[in-house]
Amino acid sequence: MRAATDAHGPLAVGVDPHPALLSRWGLPDDPTGLERFALTCVEALGGVVAAVKPQSAFFERHGCRGVAVLERLLGELAAAGTLSLLDVKRGDVGSTMAAYAQAHLADGAPLAADAVTLSPYLGLGSLRPALDLAAATGRGAFVLALTSNPEGASVQHARDDDGTPVAAAVARGVALENAGARARGALGSVGMVVGATTGGAAARLGLDLAATAAPLLAPGVGAQGAGPEDLAAVFGDARRQVLATSSRGVLAAGPRAADVRAAARDLADRCAVALA
């Protein structure tokens, strides 16, 4: 991730084929339109941005043919040399979590990505199968910590019996996972999702983001209201760990691949300046 952001800027573009976006691109809301949309995104973004973040749900809603498009998209991104970050937000226990891990983090799995998003709200320890497999295969995981949706605060800002905010407990666990990498001055393989619209919440809740050695996925840039200039204020000393994400803010420039590419490059450059 560090090499990719150094080369292309700290931006992951989300591939979120909402029905309205497919319509805006003049595409039908079916697997055929979905495939044309996905391949245009590869043409526009492959080798151009640090990472591409497909949202699995928008492919799954089309059934097995939609999942086949997602599989092809992940393969095309790998062929283009662009990191894939699959937004699946999986979180479960025991053998079920292990199965999710095998689906998305195992070598040779049809739906394997370079990294996935995970939900820790059945306990961070419940994610052990995924964290271990990601480490074993050289992949990564981004754990939800402080998300950009307003409803997240009711859980993430809540305090446990010793007064520790839930988000801070997640960050503490992630820091332990990344202790070896931090000792080497590197980023760990366990990242966190911290929304670009969360303002000063990390500081108020006592999260030392820099100390986690975590890559920090920052959704909310663009259509959700945050601008690149907000990133430094939210992430402070951890800003060199940030991978900002935007979907509609870039894809609205379509359907021409060249226009999507130009929008992505412009936003990546602005994010790089803001996080310097």
Angle (deg, nearest 10), helices 31-45 and 63-80: 10
Phi, psi dihedrals of residue 4, rounded to the nearest 5°: -65, -40
Contacts of 88 (CB under 8 A, 6+ apart): 56, 100, 104, 116, 117
Contact predicate 245/215, CB 8 Å: no
Catalytic residue flag (residue 89): yes
Structure tokens belonging to residue 188: 């760990």
Selecting among 18, 89, 182, 240, the annotated active-site residue is 89
DSSP states of 216-245: EEE--BSTTSB-HHHHHHHHGGGGGGEEEE
Q: CA 157 to CA 253: how far, in whole Å?
A: 36
Beta strands 140-146; 190-194: pairing state: parallel
Catalytic positions:
89
